[in-house]
Amino acid sequence: MITELDSVLLDIPNLADAKDAYSRLFGTSTPHPQLQLGLPEWAPYPGMLFRVENQASAAKIVDRRGLTLTAHADLAAGQADGLTLGLTERTAAPSQSGGDSGHIDHLVLFSPNRDRIIATLCGRLGFDLRLDRVQSWGVHQLFFRCAGLVVEVVLRDEDPAGPDSLWGIAWRTENIDATHARLQQAGVALSDIRNGHKPGTRVATVKDPALAVPTILIEQR
């Protein structure tokens, strides 16, 4: 059903600052085709919009699975426990030109309810649950995959009736040393480069609040 991620919907306190911050992050002023900076009127929460081959057919399928979507121009969207989720068959926007760090490696969600988020992502949208693990320091993570997109869910020990939320974005870079140096020269605060939890990866945290969500860079060797 889902063929790829269309866009990530972000709640942006200051649009001008966010545009500048993402231009610094990517090293180009070209808007990123998979970022919706600022929530449109049909999106009550941050979330994700997915591309499908047939929007009407896919919307009927997810409706039968318990996710009701409402048509808005060239997309259909609804909400599920604090997340805006939608489908569209519109053509993909042109890729970002120039710069780096422009490919989403994975998205991070928070959820207080394991069974509910599995039902949302797997039961309604068709994701596969690839990994369910508790780290040695106690963090419980779920990893889902669909059409090339990886979604990491961090389970929180809170009221299970509470909302889910879009928490962060990991951006892939081919050369994390070069990207790290470029951002430092641009005055962006970053962590040191460190080995990632996934073998063969190196990561760095970008400490720019104007990005609106926690952000990391990740290099896969």
Same domain, 137 and 163: yes
**CA 64 – CA 43 distance, rounded (Å):** 21
Same domain, 37 and 107: no
Can you give the residue range of the structural domain that contains 146?
103-220
Residue 142 lies in a domain: yes
- Residue 135: its pLDDT value, please? 87
Same domain, 76 and 120: no
Q: How many domains does the chain have?
A: 2
Look at residues 60, 88, 116 and tell me which one is the last residue of a structural domain.
Answer: 88
- Residue 99: its pLDDT value, please? 62
**CA 210 – CA 202 distance, rounded (Å):** 24
Secondary structure (3-state) at 48? strand
Sign of the four-CA dihedral 34, 82, 213, 143: negative
Helix or strand run (H / E) with residue 27: none
The one-letter amino acid at 21? A
Helix or strand run (H / E) with residue 38: none
User: In terms of Cα–Cα distance, which of 145, 5, 1, 111 is closest to 62?
Assistant: 1
Read off the pTM. Answer: 0.94
Kindly list the strands in the beta sheet with 128-134, ordered across the sheet, starting from the edge strand earlier in the chain.
Answer: 128-134, 140-146, 149-155, 103-111, 165-172, 215-220, 201-206, 194-195
Look at residues 34, 58, 88 and tell me which one is the last residue of a structural domain.
Answer: 88
Backbone phi, then psi, for 52, in 5-degree steps? -135, 165
- Residue 198: its pLDDT value, please? 86
- Residue 107: its pLDDT value, please? 98
- Residue 120: its pLDDT value, please? 98
Mean pLDDT of successive 10-residue segments in the chain (221 residues)? 97 96 91 94 98 97 98 97 98 71 91 98 98 91 97 97 98 94 96 93 97 96 83
**CA 165 – CA 81 distance, rounded (Å):** 8
